[in-house]
Structure 1
Amino acid sequence: MKTKEKKALCIMSGGMDSTLSAYMMRDEGYEIIALHFNYSQLTQNKELECFDAICKDLGVKERYNLDLDFFSKIGASALIDKGIEVQTSGIEDGIPSTYVPFRNGIFLSIATAIAEKEGASTISIGVVEEDGSGYPDCTDTFIKSMQNSINLGTKDETALEIKMPLVHLSKSQIVQASLELKVPLELTWSCYKNETKACGVCDSCRLRLRGFKLAGISDPIAYE
């Protein structure tokens, strides 16, 4: 009898962290179901381009690309509202202007519905506490609480596990792990502001560049 293939629903932004998480799931033997969100972020087109390229490299057969236009109506984040400045002064105390209200909670809720429909046993999300910079929805504690909640609200046989393999890693460790798994980092995008050449000064670019520097290699994407 043929063994039923295990499936992982991978939330993938096109960034380095969620991409590595998806490759880790593949390395563990999961069939990857890819999920991407367009939520009116400043780099929406670039992120989608990266997502498509990464899915092709991964050989993903099933992918979901969903539009969430309500985030633009809520605003309240520099990633969405052009009237709010994207931080370029480095990581500061408090929650950064780039925090999108309850974004990961919403993403995980939608991912749960798809995972249940697809018969997946696992949801993968590339949250990193260092990268979260104070985001309350990027913590180990929050993700574990979401796992408990979604299993209370789904069928008994669904029994989903949310995997967050990078949550306690540094950016340099993420770069090294990506190299070991031959993740195509040149296909990923981290910049909060630009879609052609990365700005190099937003918090996300700073963290990424520092990670590559500490890992002792050059970042393969272009910067201004």
Structure 2
Amino acid sequence: MKQEINMRKKAVCIMSGGMDSTLSAYMMQDAGYEIIAVHFNYEQNTQKKELECFHNITKALDVTNKYVLNLDFFKQLGASALTDSSIDVPTGGVEEGVPVTYVPFRNGIFLSMAAAIAEKEGASVLSIGVVEEDSSGYPDCREEYINAMQKAINLGTKDETKIEIKMPLVHLKKSEIVQEALKRSVPLELTWSCYKNEQRACGVCDSCRLRLNGFKEAGVNDPIAYE
């Protein structure tokens, strides 16, 4: 019985170093879960900065159980402006259809690896900061898709393994995410969203635009530095 209670208390949180996944992890901690933090280095443009943010955020959360997983697969694959240097990160605003910053099946791969960690650690929850309504149009951020992954994960693990994928931000606007983060005293100054730069955020890539607009609509200033 004691082991079962402990399993319910653990949440594997996929944490990129960005605002959304950080808030999701704080929400899991506020709900009473012990956080197991997972970060992926996948040869993305801002890999060094995102890893730095991850370590700073997990320190603020007082998380000691951390996994940093290195993947060169996405660099070999290319096909995304985040991992292929021959494709420019767009800076002209919202694109039609799925943007070139989409990394093929990234969340599916991340969730699969996180599920293996959850099974090993005896965690009952996976947390991912996907946002459907105010996102960049990535197909692997849809609630329907995440629910399908949850079913697949539970079919492909031990009978006693029961994993729920929590996506607490999936229907929130960016401004609502900012407001919720401020309410919970999330250190947004430690987070990073820019697709291009690692020193000062560019302010013009799609991710920066979404972030800045969220802060504007929330009526507060973004604490990170921009060019």
- TM-score bracket for the superposition, by shorter chain length: over 0.9
State the partner residue of 2:152. 149
Query: Is the counterpart of residue 67 in structure 1 residue 67 in structure 2?
Result: no
Q: Which residue of 2 aligns with 1:130?
A: 133
* 2:103 equivalent to 1:100: yes
Shift of 1:204: 0.1
CA distance in 1, matches of 2:26, 2:207: 21
Residue 167 of structure 2 is matched in structure 1 by 164
- Cα 1:214–1:132 change in 2 (3 A) is closer
1:124-167 Cα deviation digits (max 9, x unpaired): 00000135322110000000000000000001111100000001
TM-score by length of 2: 0.96
* Identity of matched residues, %: 73
Is contact 1:171–1:207 with CA below 8 Å preserved after alignment? yes
Structure 1 residue identity aligned to 2:64: K
Q: Quick check: 1:84 aligned with 2:87?
A: yes
Q: Mark the runs of 5 or more structure 2 residues left unpaired by the alignment.
A: none
Write the distance in 2 (CA, Å) between the matches of 1:179 and 1:158. Answer: 35
What's the offset of the Cα at 1:92? 2.1
Query: SS of 1:157's equivalent?
Result: coil
Equivalent residue in structure 2 for 1:114, among 103, 112, 117: 117
Structure 1 residues 170-219: Cα deviation after superposition (integer angstroms, max 9, x where no partner): 00000000001000000000000000000000000000000000000000
Cα distance in 2 for residues equivalent to 1:157 and 1:93: 44
Using a 3 Å threshold, how does the CA distance of structure 1 residues 30 and 15 change in structure 2: closer, same or farther?
same
Between stretches 16-25 and 1-10, larger displacement belongs to 1-10
Distance in 2 (CA, whole Å) between partners of 1:71 and 1:13 is 15
- Note the C-alpha offset of 1:2: 6.4
8 Å Cα contact 1:93-1:134 kept in structure 2: no
3-state SS of the aligned residue for 2:129? coil
1:47 aligned partner, one-letter code: E
Residue correspondence of structure 1 range 41-60 to structure 2 within 5 A: 41-60=44-63
SS at match of 2:94: coil
Kindly tell me the number of residue pairs found equivalent between the two proteins: 224
Map of 1:200 onto structure 2: 203
| 1:185 partnered with 2:155 | no
Whole-angstrom CA distance in 2 between matches of 1:157 and 1:107: 22
Indicate how the Cα distance of structure 1 residues 30 and 42 shifts in structure 2: closer, same or farther if over 3 A, else same. Answer: same
Structure 1: which 5+ runs fail to align?
none
How far off its partner does 1:61 sit? 1.6
* Contact map agreement 2:28 2:35 (CA 8 A) in 1: yes
Q: Which AA in structure 1 matches 2:29?
A: R
**In structure 2, what residue type is equivalent to 1:25?**
M
Shift of 1:221: 0.1
CA distance in 1, matches of 2:189, 2:148: 34
CA contact (8 A) 2:12 2:123 kept: yes
- The TM-score normalised by the length of structure 1 is 0.98
Q: Which amino acid aligns with 1:43?
A: T
CA–CA distance in 1 between the matches of 2:49 and 2:149? 29
1:13 corresponds to: 16
